[in-house]
Structure 1
């Protein structure tokens, strides 16, 4: 086991956003978090990363509770890539990628030769080596996402958490980005909207619905017409292509009013 949530809940005032979630992420696997808007995907990722304290339950990293761990210690293991990163500063791409080395450097120490080599390696892996002297603000959405993954890889993480990494990207850049993530030697958890991309790039899927785990398992076990109807409220047909499900959507189903305490975050 690499990363696990044990009956994890999180609420804001009287709104329950994540509700008693249990998941286990095996070392070296790629797990996709699925669910409609408001299902709790982003919130769960932040709980797994230790960026947010649970209201109840425990997040464990190699059997150790992440709650008492320092941010520096966690950042030496876990790297997070958010949907979109903005800054009021004008850093270069090199500055952004070098941020990944901060957890490994003593406070106020200059960047070392080893740090530079790791930054260069992460930049080459993500294909941003020719952008290092560019201002981050001048990059396209796809380029920024690659830079953020380079920054994450420069942390030398064993676990990589990504929140909608393909958001705002065209199809080519979505595929390039997910091929890149799949090629990394990390345990990966990523929130995704596109069911077919999730089926293609994830070994296991966890479907969240109103803050709870609706189902979990292999893509073929999870992506069924019944599950899609229950969670997304649309008709769908599912065919297997090379052992992976391919979802084709039909009509929206009549909306059902649900009485549930989960909120609308994530």
Structure 2
């Protein structure tokens, strides 16, 4: 068996993107009071601003809120009212306060894997927001280690593995994002269990990663995670 299994947080353990999708829909409703949504390419312009701001604000609801305010001002040519800007702040607060809803079967899956080997939670985003979600999930005690990182890239995974004294070949990551959860780990020499979520932020779809990799198994639900990990371990000669 693998020495260490990593789990992503958002949209792997609990719902997240649904709340961001709802926030964007409300953003477009507000901006739609000032411009024609289709002609103004509101969705594309917000995404472009978010992309450019990630390096400054990081991931999460706070960065999203600042980007929405910037985009709303730019798209409306400065005509957006103070009241509507205040509503955008409220949208961000609502996302920060959303309940933690575990995905079906994920608690049983995590408990099963925790009985097989050490597990670590590796999630990215705003520190306070992610800490609060981990606490409300009531899953924290199952993990050997909890890592909240600003970016999920090979360097971040390499640091975690070095501190855990685990070789990349002895690590498998479970997550819903090819770009953040699967591709960096495979690049290091590890394995991945890919569990797609029904909605994914567009910036997480940028990975140039060919499907069907020998060290990646795609699963449809949480119940399939332990068997997928066992299968990868056997294939890699860890059984």
TM-score, structure 2 normalization: 0.30
Which structure's residues are more often strand, by fraction? 1
User: TM-score, normalised on structure 1?
Assistant: 0.28
Q: Which has the higher helix share?
A: 2
